[in-house]
Amino acid sequence: MSEVTATRFDYAVGEQRYAGLRFADSSATPTAAIVLLPDWRGQGPLAREHASYLVELGCAVVIADLYGDGFMPDSPAQVGPMVQRLIEHRLEGVKSLSSCVARLRTEVPPHTPLICLGYSAGGMIALDYARCEGDVAGIILCSALLKTAAPGMQTRIKPPVLILQGTQDQVSPMETISAVIAEMDQANNDVRFELYTQTHHAFDNPQAGGDPRERLVYSPTSAKRAKRAIANFVSELARS
């Protein structure tokens, strides 16, 4: 009988400490290992739900610590400054993700495909990590805070990338999506985009509500399609 365990997962960059959360089925060998970079809520219920789904697919999962020291925002008012810091110091996010990946790699069997999956601000970090020669089997972004490469950051990405976005996303509008597509094309990267019409930012989050006039809007249809796309991509990488 399978048993899913959740344990603290510590890593560091210099003096900065990070407290991730690892989910795994202790009775099975993982088919893939995933670092899940959550949205602004951090390791809350939504990230844990995503992690549990991935464990059901046969993966070992670590929910990364976006902000350091295990900080968990408890109100939207805290979010702006924290996310702005991530945007202003993008290489810090890359370094923290690299440290998380390195530790996870030592805790899964050799040759286990390792994948980064980022939501919202976590998606920005995952894509930047790939731009900085991140050594993983694949990168997935879902309702990401999309950004083109920062000044001085290379655009060539080695692993395949899957990006799932809504066409009505006000955080990452179509102009930004088009700019990222152009960057990926010019660098000859292997990137798949799935665009969901009538879909806004945070479409995977049931707590976002359903008012299309808001910036954050839940779409159960797009959320279901994204979960299926993620599962297919992970399965493909696990077989390769």
> Which tokens sit at 215?
């910036």
Contacts of 183 (CB under 8 A, 6+ apart): 148, 149, 155
According to the model, what pLDDT value does residue 40 have? 87
pTM (predicted TM-score) = 0.96
Closest CA to 146 of 131, 133, 136, 134: 131
| pLDDT at site 1 | 45
**Average pLDDT, consecutive stretches of 10 residues, N- to C-terminus, the chain (240 residues):** 81 97 89 96 92 95 96 81 93 97 96 97 98 96 98 96 98 98 98 98 94 93 98 94
CA atoms of 192 and 223, how far apart (whole Å): 17
Nearest to 208 by CA among 169, 236, 176: 169
Please tell me whether residue 114 adopts helix, strand or coil conformation: strand
Q: Which alpha helices (H) appear in the chain, and where do they start and end?
A: 45-56, 79-88, 90-106, 121-131, 174-186, 220-239
- Are the C-beta atoms of residues 50 and 226 closer than 8 Å to each other? no
Q: Which domain holds residue 175?
A: 4-239
- pLDDT for 226 equals 98
Do 121 and 86 contact (CB within 8 A), yes or no?
yes
Please report the pLDDT score of residue 41 as a whole number: 85
Q: Which residues pair with 139 in a beta bridge?
A: 116, 161
Residue written as token pair 């602004």: 40
Q: CA–CA separation, 234 vs 228, rounded Å?
A: 10
Q: How many domains does the chain have?
A: 1
How many helices (H) does the chain have, and how many strands (E)? 6, 8
The domain that holds 46 is classified in CATH as 3.40.50.1820
Q: Are strands 32-37 and 59-63 parallel, antiparallel or unpaired?
A: parallel
